[in-house]
């Protein structure tokens, strides 16, 4: 019984194995069939694409031939266009030459017409001028006598004016002489203007506008001697107009900087002098003027070069009441000379 049972089990195993192999064979056959079918389809598509590509290539070759034909035609047209353009340029040049010739002829005609008109106008003007000349000669003859009379009057006026200027100029000379006499050799003054000078380096530190304390006493002493000589002499005081304090610099630095510095120094000196009792007593503050001159009035050495040390200074000077009158007379003389 055991023998038959084992034999049945073996038989079942091989039957199952045969069924499995049959199934695998069927699957393999299906797979092969699918591959063959896919290959056939791909071959068919490839053949179709190849035929389509061939058709496209043929169409492209036809288009290339057409493009070549069109390029050749375009080249011919361009050649014709270049030839035509050259002809147009030549024609334009001929037209420009003709226009230029016409313009030149038109200009010459206008010039001739203008010259004829000018000659005609000149002839008319000359005829009119001849008539005017005759009339002017008559008028000139009439005015010659008047001119001689006016000339004689002007000569007399000139003589009177010269005498007035001489007298007015003599007043300044007289005042300077009286001032020198009063001061003697104690104080040096300018013989032409009567002004006296103080070195800026004595009165101020470099680039500063504040009076040195040590310089105030000397400034006070000299100024009082100078102003007393002006005020206590009746021959001078009657002609005195203003007392001017001027600040001067050398040419180092800019004009505006030096102008500001010279003004500040002049005001500093004037403000200090205004505190003096003599100035207050005689009300000289109203007569005093402070002015900055920057480097407009330098002092020159014998070679004509700027002496910078002497140019940095404070000047105290005076003006006379007749100076304005002298300027007015000079204006009158200038107008008469014109």
- Long-range pairs for 216-221: beta carbons < 8 A, 24 or more residues apart: 216/272, 219/269, 219/272, 219/273, 220/272, 220/273, 220/276
Whether the pLDDT of residue 212 is over 90: the answer is yes
Whether the pLDDT of residue 1 is over 70: the answer is no
Pick the range with the lowest mean pLDDT from 82-91, 177-186, 278-287, 321-330. Answer: 321-330
pLDDT of residue 62: 82
Q: Which residue has the higher pLDDT, 276 or 78?
A: 276
CA separation for the pair 207, 220 (Å, rounded): 22
What sign for the dihedral angle of Cα 233, 234, 238, 239? negative
H or E stretch covering 205:
none
Over residues 74-79, the mean pLDDT reads 82
What sign for the dihedral angle of Cα 170, 175, 178, 180? negative
H or E stretch covering 320:
strand 313-320
Secondary structure letter of residue 314 according to DSSP: E
- Walk me through the domains of the chain, giving residue ranges and CATH numbers: 161-337 (3.30.1330.60)
CA separation for the pair 324, 40 (Å, rounded): 132
Whether the pLDDT of residue 68 is over 80: the answer is yes
CA separation for the pair 271, 288 (Å, rounded): 10
* Model confidence pLDDT, tens digit, residues 126-157: 767 767 776 776 677 667 667 667 767 766 76
pLDDT of residue 59: 82
Token digits of residue 120: 């005609």
H or E stretch covering 284:
none
* Model confidence pLDDT, tens digit, residues 219-229: 999 999 999 98
* Model confidence pLDDT, tens digit, residues 263-274: 999 999 999 999
Regarding beta strands 288-292 and 196-199, do their DSSP bridges make them parallel or antiparallel, or are they unpaired? Answer: unpaired
Most confident of 46-50, 112-116, 200-204: 200-204
Whether the pLDDT of residue 258 is over 90: the answer is yes
The residues that bridge with 319 in the sheet, in sequence order, are 242
Backbone angles phi, psi at 56, to 5 degrees: -65, -40
Which one, of 206, 59, 288, lies nearest residue 51 by Cα? 59
* Model confidence pLDDT, tens digit, residues 31-64: 888 888 888 888 888 888 888 888 888 888 888 8
Please count the other Cβ atoms lying within 10 Å of the Cβ belonging to residue 271: 14
Whether the pLDDT of residue 333 is over 60: the answer is no
Q: Quickly list DSSP for 182-204.
A: HHTTSS---TTT--EEEEHHHHB
CA separation for the pair 221, 242 (Å, rounded): 20
- Rounded to two decimals, what is the model's pTM? 0.50
What sign for the dihedral angle of Cα 75, 76, 77, 79? positive
pLDDT of residue 313: 96
What sign for the dihedral angle of Cα 267, 271, 272, 274? positive
* Cβ(209)–Cβ(247) below 8 Å: no
Whether the pLDDT of residue 256 is over 90: the answer is yes
Q: Which residue has the higher pLDDT, 154 or 86?
A: 86
The residues that bridge with 284 in the sheet, in sequence order, are none
């Amino acid at each position: 019984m055991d023998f038959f049972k084992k034999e049945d089990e073996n038989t079942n195993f091989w039957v199952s194995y045969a069924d499995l192999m049959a199934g695998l064979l069927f699957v393999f056959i299906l797979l092969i069939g699918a591959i063959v079918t896919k290959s056939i389809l791909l071959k068919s598509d490839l053949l179709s694409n190849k035929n389509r590509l061939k058709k496209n290539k043929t169409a492209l070759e036809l288009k290339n031939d057409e493009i070549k034909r069109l390029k050749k035609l375009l080249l011919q047209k361009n050649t014709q266009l270049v030839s035509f353009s050259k002809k147009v340029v030549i024609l334009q040049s001929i037209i420009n030459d003709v226009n230029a010739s016409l313009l030149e002829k038109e200009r010459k005609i206008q010039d001739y017409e203008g010259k004829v008109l000018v000659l005609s106008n000149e002839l008319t003007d000359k005829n009119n001028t001849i008539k005017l000349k005759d009339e002017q000669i008559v008028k000139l003859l009439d005015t010659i006598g008047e001119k001689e009379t006016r000339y004689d009057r002007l000569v007399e006026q000139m003589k009177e004016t010269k005498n007035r200027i001489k007298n007015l100029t003599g007043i300044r000379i007289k005042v300077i002489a009286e001032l020198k006499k009063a001061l003697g050799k104690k104080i040096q003054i300018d013989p032409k203007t009567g002004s006296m000078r103080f070195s800026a380096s004595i009165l101020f530190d470099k680039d500063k506008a504040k009076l040195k304390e040590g310089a105030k006493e000397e400034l006070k002493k000299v100024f009082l001697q100078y102003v007393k000589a002006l005020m206590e002499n009746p021959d001078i005081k009657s002609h005195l107009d203003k007392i001017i304090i001027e600040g001067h610099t050398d040419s180092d630095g800019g004009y505006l900087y030096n102008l500001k510095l010279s003004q500040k120094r002049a005001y500093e000196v004037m403000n200090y002098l205004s505190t003096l009792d003599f100035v207050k007593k005689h009300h000289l503050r109203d007569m005093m003027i402070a002015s900055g001159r920057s480097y407009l009035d330098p002092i020159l050495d014998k070679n004509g070069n700027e002496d910078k040390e002497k140019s940095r200074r404070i000047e105290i000077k005076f003006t006379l009441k007749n100076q304005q009158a002298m300027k007015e007379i000079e204006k009158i003389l200038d107008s008469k000379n014109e």
